[in-house]
A and B are shown apart, each in its own frame.
Chain A
Amino acid sequence: MYVAVKGGEAAIANAHRLLADRRRGDASVPALTLEQIAGQLALAVDRAMAEGSLYDPELAAMAVRQARGDLIEAIFLIRAYRTTLPRFGNAVPVDTGRMRIERRVSATYKDLPGGQLLGPTFDYTHRLIDPSMTGDVPVEPPLRRARTDAGCPRVTDILGQDGLIEPDQPDDREPGDLTREPLEFPAGRDLRLQALARGDEGFLLALGYSTQRGFARTHPFVGEIRIGLVDVEVEMPEVGFPVTIGRVRLTECQMVAQFKGSAKEPPQFTRGYGLVFGQSERKAMAMSLVDRALRADEFGEERNAPAQDEEFVLAHSDNVQATGFVEHLKLPHYVDFQAELDLVRRMRRAQATQAAASDESASGDDREAAE
């Protein structure tokens, strides 16, 4: 028998009203504006966009505000929003080689064409909390220097010319889309990268870290990280040519890893790739490490570490799915639990009966021995 129970409507309504109050915080303090969130908590907004898999800084700022800064909650809101809208089409693949560079570093070549441009980085800061953060001390304007108009080729295009690094495989086949077709294993690298691009930063960071600690043999170098704006071009059938409809900020990471070669391939550097919405360097690096680890089969590498296990990685990288399944445990499971409680009681009774029976026979044996 299954008995449905209703109740809690008033409690839920009151809880949501309380949440709205707590979200707003002290009413005598001015409310956060979207411009403040997008402008001053830009990296939180970037993370919400990347893992929400929807590029829209203002919308992501709204989500962060509504979620009280809980980024996974904000990502959930963004994912829910995107399901309400039609998809008009696909953009032309972005050309990161023509990015308007805001930061570009290489750990492999000191003097690479285009140079090392640090940009707005936390690197080399002392990680001491700045007492001026209690107030609103005026900030000095950035210095400027005339631009030397040399191009900024991707480092992999430079290395590639010597044949020392595996080249890109140009191909224009239609990529798979895990938002339209359920993911099946084994998945192509296109689907893996789509999943990783929207995957949880913390999860990918831990997996990437695990590969460095020996759980998958790679010895990677950051060939290049670049951050900047790229044009979004869309083919418009109404006019018959592609049009740039705006720009997005992306972070790209090219991780290179030594490969000792095989019967078919000479020794060379192989690559892991990361591409993420916004300024998200840690995520792009972690993504490229995991991408490389997941290519184990391509290079005849033994697969024995979590980061090389495609199903393990891709089935658990999505934090909206993960939080949904973990957090559902707090919802009422009264009937399930009653059933299990009953089962445990019966098991205990059975065990007690069995113990009593064996006690009886054991004491019978004792008596026999005593007699």
Chain B
Amino acid sequence: MSSSTETAPNAARRRAMEAFAAADTQALLAAWQRIAGRLEASALRGPEAGLIMLRGRIGGGGAPFNLGEASVARASVRLASGEVGHAMVLGRDAEHARLAALFDAGWQRADWRGRIETEVIAPTLVALAEADRLSAEETEATRVDFFTMLRGEDD
């Protein structure tokens, strides 16, 4: 996901945004109510539904081509405390995009960052890694182990 050329703050924010995009909407809502309480926020843009054109590469590694579109939702918000947050998530869940943008803004507050990390980012990434591991292990069980049949011609 994150490349090493990025500056550390960008890499940290990127990791956080990716976790918010992968998180469950209901879990985000509950966490936001716990962490932000009644802090006001205003919508700068959206939440709104739209499309992103997905691209492949010819042969896997060549020139890009347009593969087809995907549904996305995006939002930008400003917290009453001034921070601006942005989000785009795959799918049509506008509430997910709104909450992800709120969390992107909230993450920029030094006083909330720790709680957001422990209550939202870390659990989301752990759950994602666990689901990936389960799927990988199920796939692994279908690996073909070839063996060679010995023939009796040498006897």
Residue of A nearest to B45 (CB): A238
Q: Tell yes or no: B86 within 8 A of A by CB.
A: yes
Q: Chain B nearest CB: distance from A54 CB in Å?
A: 5
A residues less than 8 Å from B133 (CB atoms): 147
Taking a contact as CB atoms closer than 8 A, the residue among A54, A146, A242 that contacts B69 in the complex is A54
Residues of chain A lying within 8 A (CB to CB) of residue B132: 100
Given A82-B51, A91-B52, A175-B66, verify A238-B58 contact (CB < 8 Å): no
Q: Which of B53, B62, B67, B133 has the most CB of A within 10 A?
A: B67
Other-chain contact of B64, A115, A154, A175 (Cβ < 8 Å) = A175
Chain A, Cβ-Cβ closest to B145:
A115
What residues on B are CB-neighbors of A176 within 8 Å? 66
A73 within 8 A of B: no
B60 touches A117 (CB 8 A): no
Give the chain A neighbours of B146 by CB distance below 8 A: 110-111
Size bin of chain A's contact surface: 35 or more
Residue from the list A86, A142, A197, A232 in contact with B90, Cβ < 8 A: A232
In the complex, what's the smallest C-beta–C-beta distance from A98 to chain B, in angstroms? 10
Measured CB to CB, the nearest residue on chain A to B55 is A93
Dominant secondary structure of chain B at its interface with chain A: mixed
A198 vs B69: C-alpha distance when bound (angstroms): 10
Whether A66 sits at the interface, judged by CB under 8 Å, is: no
Chain B: interface size category: 35 or more
Which of B55, B72, B92 is within 8 Å of A88, CB to CB?
A: B72
Contact, CB under 8 Å: A172 / B74:
no
Q: Is B152 an interface residue (CB 8 A)?
A: no
Q: Contact partner of A119 among B60, B71, B142, CB < 8 A?
A: B142
In the complex, which residues of chain A have a beta carbon less than 8 angstroms from the beta carbon of B134? 144
**Contacts A115-B143, A189-B65; is A100 near B54 (CB within 8 Å)?**
no
Q: A100-B135, A145-B141, A238-B76 are in contact. Are A50 and B68 (CB under 8 A)?
A: yes
Chain A residues near B89 (CB-CB < 8 A): 245-246
Segment among A271-279, A299-307, A310-318, A349-357 that sits at the interface with chain B: A271-279
What's the dominant secondary structure at chain A's contact region?
A: mixed
B91 touches A246 (CB 8 A): yes
Complex Cα spacing A229 to B140, Å: 15
Nearest residue, chain A, Cβ from B59 = A168
User: How would residues 233 to 246 of chain A score, 1 for a CB under 8 Å from any chain B CB and 0 otherwise?
Assistant: 11010111111111
Judge if A118 is at the interface, Cβ distance under 8 Å: yes
A301 to B88, CA, bound (A): 46
Judged by a CB distance under 8 angstroms, whether A231 is at the interface is yes
Please report B residues at the A interface, Cβ cutoff 8 Å: 1, 6, 10, 13-14, 17-18, 21-22, 49-72, 74, 76, 86, 88-92, 132-144, 146
User: Can you sample 25 A-B contacts with CB below 8 Å?
Assistant: A54-B51, A54-B70, A55-B70, A82-B51, A86-B50, A88-B51, A89-B52, A90-B55, A96-B57, A110-B146, A118-B144, A145-B137, A145-B143, A146-B140, A147-B140, A154-B61, A156-B61, A178-B66, A190-B58, A194-B66, A232-B90, A236-B88, A241-B14, A246-B21, A277-B68
